């Protein structure tokens, strides 16, 4: 049986790993591949006991996933990251020598760097699958973390070009990203050197995460949050950075002026102070909003209790590569979406499937027009759920396409 090592620069307990890594690994395993996972755990010694690590390893082993972990270091940023890359590279090299993997599957650039260097200095030559996920150097400059054109950006781009040459196959999240990086693959499924390319958006695990009774969940959660008679507008995910928090608050304020029943719901791991003062400045009382971090297992209930969902993020070159995880989750719960233009394939998805509206601009007239157009869609819930099943189902879309690219890499 062929073996793969999936390298992920996030911690096991982080929501992204629980929703966008482990489900895919289970699907890859169904394709007759023996799966291992390497993660980087924040505050490993403080947040994990030996018994907890052993318990997690045993649980994952029962699902066919062998788990390895290292500590994640955050500060000072550049030296800490370089240290993690070094330790990760050495661990990958040792694992390759011991396990003789057929594939090193790297989630984004830093894990790909570890994989490429490890292979360079190894007698074993596994295939490298570069799961690009996003335009990492551009994302850092767009978010203001690196100066545009600075030495960090230029160095990252040089490394990125080398990683692209080293890779044996690629996964991207959007058709836009494929057109930018591998235009020729739209017809052939391969880049100009013949390497396989697959477009796999962020998907939804309907069997395990979105399997609850929608009507029961909606009624229970609306009662619990005292939402009777309220129109709930939801934002799921981070605030700040590329997420246009001021514009989100402005839209909610415009909606509330037009309809005093509007209730703002934020499910976010970000600091609540990034949004609560903005809502209060717009006249929202504490009874008019909910801002909290909730476990992944409870997300469906809050989404089912909502009426409209928001996806408003700065449109840049980097965000052309994004497949926001919130989009399929919104649709899976029947929520029509208000989004801005220019982010990944969201424009095409919304317009072709009529599951929401796109903002014409960031001003009150555009916000009110979008809200009117959402209302004109009528009972759009069924169409949203059908679109989620067709475009983002973990088993019939994501799992199937990951197994396909593994078959192509392994020439099966």
Residue 241's pLDDT is 86
Q: What's the whole-number average pLDDT of the chain? A: 96
Q: Is the pLDDT of residue 297 over 90?
A: no
- CB of 354 closer than 8 Å to CB of 377: yes
**What percent of the chain lies above the pLDDT cut of 90?**
94
Q: Give tens-digit pLDDT for 235-255.
A: 999 999 889 999 999 999 999
Q: Give tens-digit pLDDT for 255-280.
A: 999 999 999 999 999 999 999 999 99
Confidence band (pLDDT; 50, 70, 90) for 144? confident
Q: Is the pLDDT of residue 208 over 90?
A: no
Q: What is the spatial distance between Cα 257 and Cα 283, in angstroms, rounded to a whole number?
A: 10
Q: Residue 279 is inside which H or E element, if any?
A: helix 276-281
Is the C-alpha dihedral spanning 135, 136, 142, 147 positive or negative? negative
- CB of 196 closer than 8 Å to CB of 408: yes
Q: What is the spatial distance between Cα 22 and Cα 65, in angstroms, rounded to a whole number?
A: 9
Given its phi and psi angles, is residue 32 left (phi above 0), alpha (psi -120 to 50 degrees) or beta?
Answer: left
Residue 141's pLDDT is 92
Q: Residue 39 is inside which H or E element, if any?
A: strand 34-42
The whole-model pTM stands at 0.94
C-alpha angle with apex 383: 381 to 386, nearest 5 degrees?
110
Q: Give tens-digit pLDDT for 219-232.
A: 999 999 999 999 99
Q: Give tens-digit pLDDT for 94-135.
A: 999 999 999 999 999 999 999 999 999 999 999 999 999 999
Rg (CA), the chain: 22
What tokens were used for 259?
């309809």
Exposure string over 259-271, b if 16+ CB within 10 A, otherwise e:
eeebbbbbbbebe
- CB of 343 closer than 8 Å to CB of 315: yes
Q: What is the spatial distance between Cα 193 and Cα 52, in angstroms, rounded to a whole number?
A: 45
Asked if the bond preceding 76 is cis, omega within 30° of 0, the reply is yes
- CB of 108 closer than 8 Å to CB of 9: yes
Compute CA 203 distance to the chain's CA centroid, rounded to the nearest angstrom.
9
CA distance between the termini of the chain: 12
Q: What is the spatial distance between Cα 302 and Cα 305, in angstroms, rounded to a whole number?
A: 5
- CB of 200 closer than 8 Å to CB of 401: yes
What tokens were used for 169?
């196959």
Q: Is the pLDDT of residue 286 over 90?
A: yes
| Strand boundaries in 119-277, DSSP class E | 127-131, 169-172, 197-199, 231-236, 262-267
- CB of 315 closer than 8 Å to CB of 359: no
């Amino acid at each position: 049986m062929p073996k793969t090592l999936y390298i992920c620069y996030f911690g096991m307990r982080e929501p992204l790993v629980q929703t966008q890594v482990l489900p895919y690994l289970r699907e890859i395993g169904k394709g007759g591949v023996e799966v291992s996972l390497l993660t980087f755990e924040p505050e490993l010694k403080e947040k994990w006991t030996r018994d907890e690590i052993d318990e997690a390893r045993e649980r994952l082993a029962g699902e066919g996933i062998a788990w390895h972990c290292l500590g994640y270091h955050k500060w000072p940023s550049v030296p800490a990251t370089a240290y993690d890359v070094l330790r990760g590279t050495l661990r990958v090299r040792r694992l390759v020598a011991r396990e003789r993997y057929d594939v090193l599957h790297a989630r984004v650039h830093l894990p790909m760097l570890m994989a490429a260097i490890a292979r360079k200095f190894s007698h074993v030559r596994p295939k490298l699958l570069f799961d690009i996920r996003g335009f990492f150097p551009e994302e850092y400059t767009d978010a203001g973390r690196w100066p545009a054109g600075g030495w960090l950006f230029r160095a990252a781009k040089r490394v990125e070009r080398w990683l692209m040459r080293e890779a044996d196959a690629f996964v991207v999240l959007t058709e836009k990203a494929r057109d930018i990086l591998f235009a020729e693959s739209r017809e052939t499924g391969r880049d100009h050197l013949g390497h396989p390319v697959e477009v796999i958006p962020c998907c939804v695990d309907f069997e395990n995460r979105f399997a609850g009774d929608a009507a029961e969940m909606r009624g229970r959660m609306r009662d619990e949050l005292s939402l009777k008679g309220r129109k709930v507008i939801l934002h799921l995910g981070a605030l700040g950075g590329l997420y246009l928090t001021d514009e989100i608050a402005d839209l909610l304020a415009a909606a509330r002026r037009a309809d005093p029943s509007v209730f703002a719901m934020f499910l976010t791991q970000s600091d609540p102070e990034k949004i609560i003062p903005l809502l209060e400045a717009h006249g929202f009382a504490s009874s008019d909003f909910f801002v909290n971090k909730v476990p992944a297992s409870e997300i469906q209930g809050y989404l089912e209790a909502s009426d409209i969902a928001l996806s408003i993020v700065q449109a840049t070159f980097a965000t052309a590569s994004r497949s926001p995880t919130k989009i399929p989750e919104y649709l899976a719960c029947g929520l029509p979406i208000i989004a801005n233009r220019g982010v990944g394939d969201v424009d095409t998805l919304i317009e072709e499937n009529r599951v929401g509206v796109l903002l014409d601009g960031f001003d009150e007239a555009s916000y009110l027009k979008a809200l009117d157009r959402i209302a004109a869609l009528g009972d759009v819930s069924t169409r949203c759920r059908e679109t989620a099943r067709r475009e983002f189902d973990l088993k019939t879309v994501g799992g199937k396409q990951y197994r396909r690219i593994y078959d192509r890499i392994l020439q099966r």
